[in-house]
Structure 1
């Protein structure tokens, strides 16, 4: 019997036509096994296993029915830049408040807007629902039940006209901000949110900037989930609930929590933190991105605002250590993790900011989807079960 042949990470990436970091994603999902034969250093993968995965991928991508192509005029990601309706997100951040950017995404109009505020009855319902959860519940758990409770007290939630949808969305966003805000806080969204997330001297502009940068990111998985819900003509609260369900995982909204833990290790020993991830075949949290080639513009903006914080020393060492890997650059998850460390925020604050901001984008996509034919997402599957 011939001896098993092994491939390096680069060879696997070429054979599967993917990026090297995607190979490590396959490892973390249990699709590939990182094997060491003792004869070579670095990650090695059995050729037979790689070929099985390649065959499985070809079979999985055989046509299985009609899949709707989504045309959208909301967000463009091109040449390592993020645009909201033709405006660079990095230029909007720090210049316009989240209310103005929300209106831009919702209607295409950019201008001053009143602050998000929710009615007292909606906030009372959201707080009561949140208070019923156990103490260890995450902030996003509280957000999920708050959205359902807020929708239940909005009698006009079934009106799907664009202005009715944005009215409900504004009330909900104001309610969610005040749900996490300190009772005595007032002012802008950032000013109200800060005391609920950090006891450090307030820098509300950081939260405002993060919310703008995170407001939308094209057809991310949570946005597709929201659009599928909107295609059934679900009300906007139900659409937002669908999006919140889809972000609850380490590959999407919760990625900043993984970056937070990695950055905590890196503060003690950056090089070892990286080496441990590479040795285990795991991707390095907070670095690289499937849609950006050399830089995540959102991370660049937010990290630049944190330049005066000690955590930047750790980020700089990580960058230098990974300097010969152009595909491993800081992404928005690392920037959120740095923000949390810099101001002693809860470990799930980044996930919360992500979810709160993305409500704006989901609403924009819902409005767009309501104008399309209903129930247009109905893929036909290829049955692979037992014969009848």
Structure 2
């Protein structure tokens, strides 16, 4: 047995434990003194060792993570996150989202030009292809499944998809986003008085087109304003995992539809796009049980994080959440869900100084509007499509295949004998 295999999954040094927990060595011994971690004397009596499985369990309970390996820097002029605020092309993103519609903010991010009143429309051929493909899926499929299939269908309907010139990419993006919305089934199969994204000449905003795909309830002005602002706020957020995947695809000169497919593939992971759904279910349970305390206690007892709280890029409240909470206060039916969210934050704040993030705000909207738990993920995916396109446009201007790291081989050293049956 090699030295590496003896260490993996067994005993860790104090330094290794601190790195895995993301804390200082002094904090490791504080965990020991509180009974949260056990230790043994290292062979020879110098230092302590710790059980790797126990350390990982503590990391899950405390929300600590082993520091990620160093990543190569990616030049971008799209989003800056600094001092608990974030900016689109140097302009405060929350102010942009509060003043302009989703399409206007997307256009600003793509081109650096503001085009008031711009609306995205989808060609009939793309919408028809996307709807046929989505309609062939099993009924149990979720919205992200439908969006992934719709992207492929829309790509097949676009003979110009391999043209990576800026204007062609922009034209395709302006038609792809409403085509994705049009491909989603209307909840309950009924009409809501809004113009469908697939209808020729549709002139209403994307939020109004998306609303009936999320809930059977009739839309009102304040609720549509929350949805539209959420779409604009979620367009981009630095190099999230899905955005990095999109840039890798663009670096290989994949066409924009494939770039979006790469982003959607990563978004479907449980550590990225599913967060708002977890927060939705938690809020629904808080309302059902009449308070946050028992629900929070159940999460912590099971070793789970409380959904909708904390963000590694902000020390205080997520500015996206703060903006949406302000708008949700104007939505009368959002009162109970909003109070439940604040109860969750106040309950956890007794021990852990965590603030609300955008997933909790999306959960308030979805719970209050009678939307399913996956609605927040749908909103996120539609919104972020514009961000992935923005990053693709940047990456197309870089050296091809520049995002090609070298692997660090950790397997057996050659030469090894041929395996025998």
**Alpha-carbon offset, residue 221 of structure 1:** 0.7
CA distance 1:19–1:144, change in 2 (3 Å): farther
1:207 to 227, 231, 249: 227
Does residue 109 (structure 1) correspond to residue 113 (structure 2)? The answer is yes
Q: Could you say which residue in structure 1 is the equivalent of 2:348? A: 322
Whether the aligned pair in 1 keeps the contact of 2:37 and 2:55 (CA below 8 Å) is: no
1:277 to 296, 299, 302: 299
- TM-score, normalised via structure 2 length: 0.78
Distance 2:398 2:165 in 1: 13
How do 1:260-339 residues align onto structure 2 when only pairs under 5 Å count?
260-267=280-287, 268=289, 269-307=291-329, 308=332, 309=334, 310-324=336-350, 327-339=353-365
**Alpha-carbon offset, residue 324 of structure 1:** 3.9
Whether the aligned pair in 2 keeps the contact of 1:75 and 1:83 (CA below 8 Å) is: yes
Q: Could you say which residue in structure 2 is the equivalent of 1:48? A: 50
1:383 to 409, 412, 417: 409
Q: Could you say which residue in structure 2 is the equivalent of 1:159? A: 163
Whether the aligned pair in 1 keeps the contact of 2:309 and 2:345 (CA below 8 Å) is: no
Q: Could you say which residue in structure 2 is the equivalent of 1:27? A: none
Does residue 90 (structure 1) correspond to residue 116 (structure 2)? The answer is no
Whether the aligned pair in 1 keeps the contact of 2:242 and 2:266 (CA below 8 Å) is: yes
Distance 1:150 1:45 in 2: 56
Does residue 344 (structure 1) correspond to residue 370 (structure 2)? The answer is yes
Counting matched residue pairs gives: 359
In the alignment, structure 1 segments of 5+ residues that lack a partner are 6-10, 24-35
Q: Could you say which residue in structure 1 is the equivalent of 2:4? A: none
**Alpha-carbon offset, residue 297 of structure 1:** 0.5
Whether the aligned pair in 1 keeps the contact of 2:131 and 2:184 (CA below 8 Å) is: no
Q: Could you say which residue in structure 1 is the equivalent of 2:147? A: 143
Q: Larger Cα Rg: Structure 1 or Structure 2?
A: 2
Distance 1:246 1:330 in 2: 24
**Alpha-carbon offset, residue 81 of structure 1:** 0.8
Q: Which moved more, 1:321-330 or 1:220-229?
A: 321-330
- TM-score, normalised via structure 1 length: 0.85
Q: Which moved more, 1:311-320 or 1:235-244?
A: 311-320
Q: Could you say which residue in structure 2 is the equivalent of 1:188? A: 205
Q: Could you say which residue in structure 2 is the equivalent of 1:243? A: 263
Distance 1:150 1:247 in 2: 19
Distance 1:327 1:373 in 2: 43
CA distance 1:144–1:213, change in 2 (3 Å): same
What do the CA deviations read for 1:59-106 (whole angstroms, capped 9, x no partner)? x84x8xxx6421100001111111111111111123111111111111
How do 1:28-39 residues align onto structure 2 when only pairs under 5 Å count?
none
Q: RMSD between aligned alpha carbons?
A: 3.1
2:387 to 348, 351, 361: 361
Distance 1:256 1:288 in 2: 13
Distance 1:286 1:259 in 2: 5
Whether the aligned pair in 2 keeps the contact of 1:293 and 1:327 (CA below 8 Å) is: no
Q: Which moved more, 1:128-137 or 1:327-336?
A: 327-336
What do the CA deviations read for 1:40-64 (whole angstroms, capped 9, x no partner)? 67x546551259879x969x84x8x
Q: Could you say which residue in structure 2 is the equivalent of 1:229? A: 249
In the alignment, structure 2 segments of 5+ residues that lack a partner are 1-10, 40-48, 60-64, 196-203, 416-421
Distance 1:362 1:89 in 2: 16
CA distance 1:286–1:12, change in 2 (3 Å): farther
What do the CA deviations read for 1:187-229 (whole angstroms, capped 9, x no partner)? 2211122122122231321211110010000111100100000
Give 3-state SS (helix, strand or coil) of 2:86's partner. strand
CA distance 1:76–1:124, change in 2 (3 Å): same
Distance 1:276 1:52 in 2: 21
CA distance 1:292–1:130, change in 2 (3 Å): same
Give 3-state SS (helix, strand or coil) of 1:110's partner. coil
